[in-house]
Structure 1
Amino acid sequence: MRSIDVAERRARLAVRHRLSLKARTDDVLDIARSVVVLHATDPATVFLSVAARSVDAVPAAVEKALYDDRTLLRMLAMRRTMFVAPTELVPVLQASTANGLAAKQRGVYSRMIERGSDIPDVPALFAEAQEAAHRALLARGEATGAQLGSDVPLLRTRVDPAPGKSYSRPTNITTWILVTLGCEGRIVRGRPNGSWVSSQYRWSPVEAWLPGGIEDLPAAEARAGLVRRWLRAFGPAPAADLKWWTGWSAGDVKKALALLDVAEVDLGGATGLVLADDLEPVSEPEPWAALLPALDPTPMGWQERGWFLGGHGPMLFDRNGNIGPSVWWDGRIVGGWAQRGDGEIVFRLLEDAGADAAAAVEREAARVAAWYGGVRSVPRFRTPLERELTA
């Protein structure tokens, strides 16, 4: 069994994820492909993840890929998390994950409507509201949820989500209907109302990105395709990491792996998986520094992070397992960073990484400050160190 030590795993991370200096590129689509998908729960993450992996790209380049060229598409997928995905990967994500998510969301929202209203036939209401919203969106071409609610009275149906509870606040079903349509791959979150850190999106029909709609793939084939991409980007890694990242059952992960030519490797006492044609050694790149944003796809790509995180987790993660802004040096996390209210980028090294590391991090901080320009952003999930740095 081939052995792959921590140094080689870090070298693979640097090259595969386009974090080493020679691996960086201004091709936004290639950056997204290098990490399979970009995390998009926090809109700023998409842009800052590209910033960390590019040379001279600017926020407008990401907006062009998303909204003009439309080579990237925003969708809910693994672990009910928002991602930005290359459009050629969308059918794989839809069949492997989003279809199942759509069924779950429909069930959750339907039960909430049943519990919080006197509507006699909730499935019929849900289906009618979906079709009406879809028709209205096709007619407009692009619309906010509020605009669609104005067009479709059924979307303004009021529901008490927690009957009898003091904290409950009656709400309409617009968001529930639109989120489910999005999970089904019928509509897409488009350009936001505001800057690149805004999460107030306008909706568009999926055909605006994929003229023929989303290709229908067999679920088993799609899962194998997604696992292949993950192993290429994040392997070698234990199967438990893959199960966590996908959010699938152990059975689905096992079936997907069975369709691929996979090799086992020794990760220093643990068994890792890697594609059988990906066993060649990876040369270590020159030392590199990077400032990765909160929820960046690299640290969020594995469940077991000790080989690059060390003991810094308590300062850099919130209680729900979301990582904040992190400082990297030569394949490992050595600190954290934040943007203050005046726009200054500040960082703290949590270990002595040496003078070269400190100087390289300073240069990266200047690059990130230039990327932000006059935009200000606070991570959606705040962590202890980020709070301290902005206090």
Structure 2
Amino acid sequence: MLERQLLLERTDMPIVAAVEHLGGLQAQAPVPPYLALWSRLKPYGVDALSKLITDRSLVRMTLWRGTLHLISADDVHLMRTALQPELNKWARNVVPPAHRVEIDLDELARITHEYVETEPRTVAEIGAHLEAHFPEAKARELSTQAQMLVPMVQVPPRGIWGVGGVPQNVAMSTWLGRDLPASADVPALVERYLRAFGPATLADMQAWSRLTGLKAHAAALGLVEYENEDGKVLLDVPDGKIVPADTPAPARLLPAFDNVLLGHADRTRIMSEEARSRWGAVRNGVFPPTFLVDGFLRGTWNVVETRDTATLTIEPYSRTTKKDLAGVVREARAVLKVMAPTKAHVVETAG
């Protein structure tokens, strides 16, 4: 998996190709996609990614697990089309039953699309506009449902390195000049998943995509099967590269929400149960930036900036050898040159 996630050796793969290969990047906040690619590509400059967002080669939109992702414009048709039926279900259930108001979701989608197809709108604006049509419901819940039902792109300058701004959304059809196709090529999506995360079980694929009925789609692909130590069947593409288990895995810093930690139902291939319990013990599902040592999750990191200094603190989950920590420190010093190039840099270890 680490080989396919481009975490064993940085590659010179073009940015758009890398984003497509990885199945998209988590993008709830602007910075994580930049750091995810920094850990995987060489040479790599943040300005190059910003340009691809600006010229619409890459887009930020609601996707896997109902969260914001960065994907290529070409992949919108495959990925959002496949996920749309599931997003439609989530739109019905996103409001807790005790507060749920039955409204016409088809009408909500129609009104939303008309409102966001002409110009970018903030979430607050979308919610207020919908509340005027559905006064029995709350604006915040209506805007959440709208993002599930209507494919929208979060437009620049949001998502551009070093640039702030309130998030604004416009209809995907307006931004890209085309609508979603009527049906999705789900087998192609299964293959793409395996090329990024395989070998994997059907449960892994479902955990990543939240799609059901994948067994029939996988059966149409002529996949190969392996059996892991627990007797579970792992599926893979016939030409999928599998590296020896003793292949060295260099230390890597990962951004918050990196999909390598979220892309499987069985996460023991990349984290121990102890590490998982600490990593998952967060409020509101806001996962911290993490680091890998020898291919396994070993702790978290964080950067605090003052006017003149950027301090990166490494916090191992457990005792870490000096040799292992040295690789993390090297990566930490390197990432500070990207995150705070004009400031003095400090790397420290907590505990």
Q: Hey, what does 1:20 align to over in structure 2?
A: 8
Pairing 1:338–2:302 present: yes
CA distance in 2: counterparts of 1:25 and 1:305, whole angstroms: 28
- Aligned-pair CA distance for 1:46: 1.6
CA distance in 2: counterparts of 1:105 and 1:295, whole angstroms: 23
Rate the CA distance shift 1:374–1:266 in 2: closer, same or farther, 3 A.
Answer: same
Q: Hey, what does 2:168 align to over in structure 1?
A: 202
CA distance in 1: counterparts of 2:104 and 2:226, whole angstroms: 51
Q: Which has the higher helix share?
A: 1
Q: Hey, what does 2:334 align to over in structure 1?
A: 367
What are the Cα deviations for residues 18-43 of structure 1, in whole angstroms up to 9, with x where unaligned? Answer: 1223x333732233123211112333
- Aligned-pair CA distance for 1:389: 5.9
CA distance in 2: counterparts of 1:79 and 1:297, whole angstroms: 11
Q: Hey, what does 1:306 align to over in structure 2?
A: 268
Runs of 4+ in 1 over 6 A off after TM superposition: 111-114, 147-150
Structure exhibiting the larger radius of gyration computed from Cα positions: 1
Pairing 1:175–2:136 present: no
Contact 1:92 1:226 in 2 (8 A): yes
Rate the CA distance shift 1:61–1:154 in 2: closer, same or farther, 3 A.
Answer: same
What are the Cα deviations for residues 310-331 of structure 1, in whole angstroms up to 9, with x where unaligned? Answer: 2312322235766422111231
Greater relative contact order (CA < 8 Å, ≥ 6 in sequence): 1
Rate the CA distance shift 1:227–1:348 in 2: closer, same or farther, 3 A.
Answer: same
What are the Cα deviations for residues 275-300 of structure 1, in whole angstroms up to 9, with x where unaligned? Answer: 25136542565541111012101111
What are the Cα deviations for residues 302-347 of structure 1, in whole angstroms up to 9, with x where unaligned? Answer: 1212232123123222357664221112312222211124331110
Q: 1:130 aligns with which of 67, 92, 112?
A: 112
Contact 1:76 1:98 in 2 (8 A): no
Contact 2:291 2:300 in 1 (8 A): yes
SS in 1 for 2:258: coil
SS in 2 for 1:294: coil
Q: 2:195 aligns with which of 225, 232, 241?
A: 232
Contact 2:20 2:75 in 1 (8 A): no
What are the Cα deviations for residues 117-163 of structure 1, in whole angstroms up to 9, with x where unaligned? Answer: xxxx85686356235414xx42x4x444566789xx666457465xx
Bigger drift between 346-355 and 39-48 goes to 346-355
Rate the CA distance shift 1:206–1:112 in 2: closer, same or farther, 3 A.
Answer: farther
Structural mapping, 1:138-217, within 5 Å = 138=118, 140=119, 142-145=120-123, 156-157=132-133, 159=135, 161=137, 171=139, 175-176=143-144, 178-180=146-148, 183-185=149-151, 187-193=152-158, 196=161, 200-207=166-173, 209-216=175-182
Contact 1:238 1:272 in 2 (8 A): yes
CA distance in 1: counterparts of 2:145 and 2:203, whole angstroms: 34
CA RMSD of aligned residues (A): 3.6
Q: Hey, what does 1:356 align to over in structure 2?
A: 323
What are the Cα deviations for residues 230-272 of structure 1, in whole angstroms up to 9, with x where unaligned? Answer: 11111112222222112123xx122221222122212212323
Contact 1:52 1:290 in 2 (8 A): yes
CA distance in 2: counterparts of 1:207 and 1:124, whole angstroms: 18
Q: Hey, what does 2:292 align to over in structure 1?
A: 328
CA distance in 1: counterparts of 2:123 and 2:230, whole angstroms: 51
Q: 1:268 aligns with which of 229, 254, 258?
A: 229
Contact 1:159 1:172 in 2 (8 A): no
Contact 1:157 1:172 in 2 (8 A): no
Structure 2 runs not aligned, ≥5 long: 343-348
Q: Hey, what does 1:64 align to over in structure 2?
A: 51
Give % identity. Answer: 22
CA distance in 2: counterparts of 1:270 and 1:322, whole angstroms: 33
Q: Hey, what does 1:86 align to over in structure 2?
A: 72
Supply the AA of the counterpart residue of 1:40. Answer: A
Supply the AA of the counterpart residue of 1:238. Answer: T
Contact 1:289 1:329 in 2 (8 A): yes
Rate the CA distance shift 1:115–1:352 in 2: closer, same or farther, 3 A.
Answer: closer
- Aligned-pair CA distance for 1:374: 7.5
Rate the CA distance shift 1:270–1:76 in 2: closer, same or farther, 3 A.
Answer: farther
SS in 2 for 1:340: strand
TM-score (norm 2): 0.80
Contact 1:18 1:24 in 2 (8 A): yes
TM-score (norm 1): 0.73
Pairing 1:282–2:246 present: no
CA distance in 2: counterparts of 1:374 and 1:157, whole angstroms: 49
CA distance in 2: counterparts of 1:265 and 1:98, whole angstroms: 31
Contact 1:99 1:184 in 2 (8 A): no
- Aligned-pair CA distance for 1:229: 0.8
What are the Cα deviations for residues 165-194 of structure 1, in whole angstroms up to 9, with x where unaligned? Answer: xxxxx64777357524xx433x32111458
Number of equivalenced pairs: 338
Contact 1:155 1:173 in 2 (8 A): no
CA distance in 1: counterparts of 2:143 and 2:170, whole angstroms: 14
CA distance in 1: counterparts of 2:324 and 2:107, whole angstroms: 59
Rate the CA distance shift 1:113–1:129 in 2: closer, same or farther, 3 A.
Answer: farther
SS in 1 for 2:224: strand
SS in 1 for 2:39: helix
Rate the CA distance shift 1:127–1:256 in 2: closer, same or farther, 3 A.
Answer: closer
Rate the CA distance shift 1:100–1:328 in 2: closer, same or farther, 3 A.
Answer: closer
